[in-house]
Structure formats: structure tokens, C-alpha cells
């Protein structure tokens, strides 16, 4: 048996314990026993995920003049999902055990002979299709006419609006449309913490290009851009791979596709897919709706259906990746020669939930406490900051564990010289900085 490739620098138990202990991520509705496949982001997790989404948005929208923003509704007209193929084909195969009544995903069963739960043989039903879209009813009638779906992906909201968008934004291919939003999939077997969940957030870019022979070049450019994004935010290259799909692994209409995968403690897992999708999506909506979604080029007086390059990334998975990839246990020696271990999240400063912590060296010295609060208050409009007080070693340990890049200590000398000690998370290097120049010092580094 081949040893599976896994990340070994941290276990999922360590990550989930840290996430719970420090308030990154909690099971949803925990006081009622939780609900399988749903999670809540605590005070630090909500900031962390927000930063991950903002970092994506900055690369894909803010820094480009060829990508426009979009934000479509989670519940759309149900015909949308007929056109997209989700009603007919967004299925998992399920198998029931007639004896113990357990239900399994057929592709997760090692054998169709014997139930892994009750051990009986020959008790399985035939596999049957289970649609992964969550259904609801809209409007005051609870009949099939009012049936609607929670979107399983954000992309279709962009496709059905393609004409509205290019006309009002006056954009001409090549150009892109981006959105971030919640999607829902009724996963049979949610698992691996926030990796496979039923309610999740996607960041999708749909980039439309003319059929002029440059579509694969454009696809390559997006693969390079997205690779750069992960590098920019410090994801270790040895734990990231861009898996290029073989022709037989791609849909028939696609000329290329890449899965971006991260090496999690349980093995490789998909973070993002970058795909050439041909004209498949716009064609499908034109066919079912009877509406024109081609691009009309005023210059050449011709119309055509643009080719689509898509990047679809999971924001919860990327947030989990940031947590795992940043996690390090660092061995050291304390002043007494005793071996120590510190846990540090080496998060990129843009991703770190708290940018700077301000400490009062003593809890019971009003001058220090007041001075530290004044400094924290002055920094707050510019950097997400946090005041704390007490034992300095404990304070550093706590901030290291949540990835805060800088800690600032107000001590007795501060009252004399107006300077504070600034300690950097990764190098643990300490600088003495005038409190007046602190904002500038941090702005240069954050």
C-alpha cells in the first residue's frame, strides 16, 4: 500500500482545537447539538475570512480595469438550474443498507458486497441519484410552481446577467465579472472541518474572451495570476500544486482546466478550479431562455458568443489553508536553559485578523494602562488593533497563536522617554520606537 501524501507539520486536531480555543471557528448552533456541515466564524475567524475575501477581491477586481463587480441573489429562477444542468445531473449516487438503514455515497464504498456499518452481505439497494441542490418554496403557495433552489454555485448569476452587465458597464471582451457569495450543496458526507461543508462561500471570476485564437493564452495568464496570488500571501510552494486536467478529465467543451490543490493533513484537497469552458454556459442559457446573450461588436457589426475562462475558489477552504499553512511549532530555549515550544501563525500581515496588539506591562499601574489605551486608540483607525495587559510572556504567546504581526509594549521607561518596545512576530526582534512615530513605523511594515 502506498503511503498517502499528507502535510505533517500540524494535525487537524491541533487546528480545530486552536480554532475553537481562540475563537476562529465554532460548530454552528452548538448549544443545540450542532448541525452537520455548518460552521460559524468567531471574532478572529470572521476577520480572517474577511481578509481572505478582500485579498481575492483586491487581485481580481480592485487592481484590474478589465473586471467588474457583481452580486447576484442566492435564490434564482429555477429554470436557471435546468439550463445549467444541475437539475438533471448534479447528483451523487446513494446506496442504502436494507438491514441497518445506513445510507452511503456509492463512490465512497470500498465494496458493494458487504455493509461497512452492520457487516451484513447482500443488503445493499441499487444505487440511486440524489440531487445535491437544496430546495425551498418561494411565495405564499407551497406547490411545485413555487419550488426554488439555493444556488450550488455563484457563477450562473453572472451568466444569466451577461448582457445586462456588458451593456451597462460598456465592456467588450476580453473582460471579466467577479463575485463572492454563499452557495449551498447538500453534501452526503460533510467533513474535514470547514473543508467539505454544506453552506460555503465562493469567489468566482468569469472572464469572457473573443474567439480570436487567444483564449488559451488568456487561460494561461489567469493560471499564472492565481499562482502568484497564493505566493503573494505566503502559501508554501511545496504544499501547493496546480494539477493540469487531462483531456479525458475535462468536459467535452473545455480546452483546458487546472485544479489548484493544497496538501492538507489528510492529503491533497481542491481549493480552486481554473477552467476553459468554451461557450457552453452562455449557449445553454440562450437555448433554454430564448434570449440573446451574444456580444454585439459595434465596430465590426458582428455578434458572437464569447469563450469563457473561469476561476472558482472556495473561500472557506482558502481560509482553512491560511490557518494550516501559517501554523508552526517552533522549538527554543528559555533564559533558564529550559526547552520551550511556541505555536505561531505566520500569517501574511494582510491576512492576520489583528495587525497590532498594545500591551500595558502591568495591570495595576494606571499610568501604563492609560498610556497603552491612548496608543491603541490612536492606531485603531489605521490598523485592526487590540489592547491587552498582564504577563508579557503570556501576552506574546497569545498573539503569536493568532498570528498578530506586531506587539507593542508600554513599560515604565515609556513614561520617561515616550518610546515603546515593538516586537515582530516571526523574528521576535524588538525595536524601541517613539510612540509618536509608531503609526508610520507600522505602516511601513504592514
Least Cα distance to 4 among 322, 249, 243, 265 occurs for: 265
CA–CA distance, 166 with 158 (Å, rounded to integer):
11
To the nearest whole angstrom, how small is the minimum distance from the Cβ of residue 12 to a second copy?
A: 19
Q: Is the peptide bond before 239 cis (omega within 30 degrees of 0)?
A: no
Distance CA 355, CA 44 (A): 12
**Cβ-based nearer residue to a second copy, 63 or 89:** 63
| In the complex, minimum distance from the CB of residue 19 to a second copy, in angstroms, rounded to a whole number | 10
**Shortest Cβ 6–a second copy spacing (Å):** 28
| Beta-sheet pairing, 67-69 with 175-184 | parallel
Report the residue number, 123 or 386, with the smaller CB distance to a second copy: 386
Closest to a second copy by CB, 78 or 234: 78
Three-class secondary structure of residue 226 per DSSP: helix
CB 319 → a second copy: shortest distance, Å?
A: 11
Question: Based on CB atoms, which residue is closest to a second copy, 40 or 426?
Answer: 40
By C-beta, is 157 or 265 nearer to a second copy?
157
205 or 256, CB closer to a second copy? 205
Cβ within 8 Å of residue 95, ≥6 positions away: 103, 104, 105, 106, 109, 112, 124, 125, 126, 127, 128
CB of 157 to a second copy, least distance (A): 6
Q: How does DSSP assign 146-204, residue by residue?
A: GEEEB-S-SHHHHHHTHHHHHHHHT--SSEEEEEEEEEE---SS-BTTTTB-SEEEEEE
Of 30 and 431, nearer to a second copy (C-beta) is 30
| Minimum distance of a second copy from residue 367's CB (angstroms) | 19
Q: Which among 130, 68, 132 is positioned nearest to 93, based on CA atoms?
A: 130
Residue placing its CB nearer to a second copy in the complex, 6 or 112: 112
Buried b vs exposed e over 285-303: b needs ≥16 C-beta within 10 Å?
A: bbeeeeeebbbeeeeeeee
Q: Cα separations (Å) of 185 from 110, 150, 259, 436? A: 24, 8, 19, 52
Q: Find the shortest distance in angstroms from Cβ 286 to a second copy.
A: 9
**Dihedral sign, Cα of residue 171, residue 173, residue 176, residue 177:** positive
**Which of 163/227 has CB closer to a second copy?**
163
User: In the bound complex, what is the minimum distance in angstroms from residue 70's beta carbon to a second copy?
Assistant: 5
Least distance in angstroms from the C-beta of 154 to a second copy: 11
Tally the C-alpha atoms within 13 A of residue 299's C-alpha that lie toward its C-beta.
2
Q: By three-state DSSP, how is residue 304 classified?
A: strand
Amino acid at each position: 500500500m502506498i503511503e498517502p501524501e499528507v502535510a505533517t507539520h500540524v494535525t487537524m486536531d491541533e487546528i480545530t482545537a486552536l480554532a475553537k480555543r481562540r475563537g476562529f471557528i465554532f460548530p454552528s448552533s452548538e448549544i443545540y447539538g450542532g448541525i452537520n456541515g455548518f460552521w460559524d466564524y468567531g471574532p478572529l475567524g470572521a476577520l480572517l475570512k474577511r481578509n481572505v475575501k478582500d485579498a481575492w477581491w483586491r487581485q481580481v477586481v480592485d487592481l484590474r480595469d478589465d473586471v467588474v463587480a457583481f452580486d447576484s441573489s442566492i435564490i434564482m429562477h429555477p429554470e436557471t438550474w435546468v439550463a445549467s444542468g444541475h437539475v438533471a445531473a448534479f447528483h451523487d449516487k446513494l446506496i442504502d443498507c436494507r438491514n441497518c438503514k445506513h445510507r452511503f455515497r456509492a463512490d465512497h464504498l470500498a465494496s458493494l458486497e458487504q455493509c461497512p456499518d452492520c457487516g451484513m452481505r447482500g443488503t445493499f439497494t441499487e444505487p440511486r441519484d440524489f440531487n445535491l441542490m437544496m430546495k425551498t418554496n418561494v411565495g405564499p403557495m407551497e406547490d411545485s410552481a413555487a419550488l426554488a433552489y439555493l444556488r450550488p454555485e455563484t457563477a450562473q448569476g453572472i451568466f444569466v446577467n451577461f448582457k445586462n452587465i456588458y451593456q451597462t458597464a460598456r465592456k467588450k471582451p476580453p473582460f471579466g465579472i467577479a463575485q463572492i457569495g454563499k452557495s449551498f450543496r447538500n453534501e452526503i458526507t460533510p467533513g474535514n472541518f470547514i473543508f467539505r461543508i454544506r453552506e460555503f462561500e465562493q469567489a468566482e471570476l468569469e472572464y469572457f474572451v473573443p474567439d480570436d485564437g487567444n483564449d488559451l493564452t488568456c487561460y494561461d495568464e489567469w493560471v499564472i495570476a492565481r499562482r502568484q496570488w497564493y505566493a503573494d500571501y505566503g502559501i508554501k510552494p511545496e504544499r501547493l500544486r496546480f494539477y493540469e486536467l487531462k483531456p479525458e478529465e475535462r468536459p467535452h467543451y473545455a480546452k483546458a482546466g487546472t485544479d489548484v490543490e493544497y496538501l492538507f493533513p489528510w492529503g491533497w484537497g481542491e481549493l480552486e478550479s481554473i477552467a476553459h469552458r468554451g461557450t457552453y454556459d452562455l449557449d445553454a442559457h440562450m437555448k433554454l431562455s430564448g434570449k440573446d446573450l451574444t456580444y454585439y461588436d459595434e465596430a465590426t457589426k458582428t455578434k458572437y458568443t464569447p469563450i469563457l475562462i473561469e476561476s472558482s475558489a472556495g473561500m472557506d477552504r482558502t481560509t482553512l489553508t491560511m490557518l494550516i499553512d501559517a501554523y508552526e511549532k517552533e522549538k527554543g530555549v528559555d533564559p533558564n536553559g529550559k526547552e520551550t515550544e511556541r505555536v505561531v501563525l505566520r500569517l501574511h500581515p494582510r491576512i492576520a485578523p489583528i495587525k497590532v496588539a498594545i500591551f500595558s506591562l502591568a495591570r495595576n499601574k494606571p499610568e501604563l494602562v492609560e498610556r497603552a489605551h491612548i496608543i491603541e486608540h490612536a492606531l485603531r483607525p489605521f490598523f485592526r488593533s487590540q489592547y491587552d495587559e498582564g504577563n508579557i510572556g503570556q501576552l506574546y504567546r497569545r498573539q503569536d497563536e493568532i498570528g498578530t504581526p506586531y506587539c507593542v509594549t508600554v513599560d515604565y521607561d515609556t513614561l520617561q522617554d515616550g518610546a515603546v518596545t515593538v516586537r515582530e512576530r516571526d523574528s521576535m526582534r524588538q525595536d524601541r520606537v517613539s510612540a509618536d512615530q509608531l503609526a508610520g513605523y507600522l505602516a511601513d511594515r504592514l
